[in-house]
Chains A and B, each alone.
Chain A
Amino acid sequence: MPHDHHDHDHPAHSPPQPDDKVHSYYQILGVALKELLIEKGIVTADEVRSAIEKRDQITPAHGAAVVARAWSDAGFRTRLLTDANAAVAELGYPMTTTRLVAVENTADVHNVVVCTLCSCYPRELLGLPPAWYKSRAYRARIVHEPRAVLAEFGTQLLEETEVRVHDSTADMRFLVVPRRPAGTESLDEAALAELVSRDSMIGVAVVRQP
């Protein structure tokens, strides 16, 4: 499928054009598919709208609430690490179509998550994946030079820290439980959740002391 008749550059993963106009054949194709599928009764416009609205409501705050609970409640932490699907459902975030595995960072082990083949991600807890997570560069490099990749994200690990890279699949997603920073003993769960970034739950960042 050559693109040599395009009159503008069209590199992979290019952001959408800023003028809101339709530039790509595939944008037109997407509109055509939606119209046809609605006309044939395979989907409804309401269903699509509702799916988009639900997706927009999921932010990394869901995952941060899970992490803050694990930091605050030893029983929940144990349940999260043994049966993450059941544990996150307790907080009202059911993941019914994929297995969820929570991996905990410790003084000795740092975990980081990728989907080398595509873009699988715990969307129910973190929302849609960031563009870099879907990029070829991240997917290619994180598995063989994780320390170099983490350094690009500003995360320097000690030489003796073991790095574990977890490759997601269509059936299995991972949530990193970052280390709770020192000096947060007096913070309640809501304040703790504020500290937990999306990137720390993917594993490319750590949670900083407030």
Chain B
Amino acid sequence: MTKILVIARWEYMEKVKSKIFLVGLLLTPLIMIGMGVLPTLFVSQEDEHSRIIGVIDPGGTIIEPFTHRMQTRYLLKNRQPNYIVLPLAVGTGINVDDAVADANRRVASDQIDGYFFFQGSGRDSLIEYRSKTVGDFALPARIEEVLKTIVAEQRVQALGLDPAVLRQIAVKMDVRSVKLSAKGEKENAGFERVFLSAYVFLMMLFLLIVTSGQMLVRSVIEEKSNRIVEVLVSSCSPTELMAGKVLGLSGLGLTQMAFWALIGVAASLQFGMQLIDPGHALLLVVYFILGYLFYAAIFIAAGSPLNTEQEAQQITSYLVLVLILPIVLALPAMKDPNATWIKILTYIPFLTPTMMAMRIPIQMPMLWEILLTIVIMLISIAGAMVAAGRIFRIGILSTGKSPKLKEIFRWIKNG
């Protein structure tokens, strides 16, 4: 037992001091935060300068109310209007083709940010807001809303009614999806939050397993190629060596996770958003550890018969493909978390931890599902560790040509 601890401490200390670990530790949360937060930040970013919107209004019916409403309703932080409306061509006498050509030129030369051509309020129509940038979702929505109000008022007036009627008959109704917990209680989780937390946890589990798996394989191959492994297994049994490695690198993974969790808590306090509730988090940690141990065994089994880094990279990239599958499935799983195929995939040990990491934030699985998957994982881990141990024992001492798959199966059987 003490030798296992000696090995575990060595693996932990040497890796924790390595640059690769530090870079991964710091860079990963930055990437996660970057991927999660930056796009929303940019999209919801408010304008800093007024934008100039050109209007071509041959009917001359909307230009005045539109200008008034746009300039008074939307203001910048400095109380200046967010949008300045510039009448480009107004009234029945204009040549529409010339006006459009002129407007296009103005947009091209950045005199105006964009323009639209209003054909008339007589019939419903599609209005094109033309500008160099089409990524701004807010502006077309605002133009649409203002124009709708104006046209509605004008139509009401044409019917000889008081425009105030509009306010009386206006229907305000939203349909929103609300998540219910397993106990039937309402949870305050919007699509984005659920999606984000499912994704963040998937990615974290994925990165953790891949990076530490690679570290595991690399350390085995290093010891094989420099023959230290012979010194090691003359001092302790291969089983002790393997256990020590798994323990040490698990400690490393937990360190990483704890650090990330700290950052996550800090970030959620800072941005005022709660990514996940503590009950879920605890369950996820359980699946983290289970997945971690299972894949540690797989990586050891795959890595110990190999002799070169290149071979190792090939093998790990196949494993990465298996691991990444649930990430691809996240979107369809969100739509229908109760689909049978998603449930079936959850019970395949290779996928269980990541599938669960994805399912828990979307919809908490039933208690029996959780217990059953944990039992399945525990059995799989035990089996994988025994098989990995048998491969490890022979694999670490084999040099030269890498053994064929058939040979490896014989090692497992004869172990």
Q: Does B bind A?
A: no
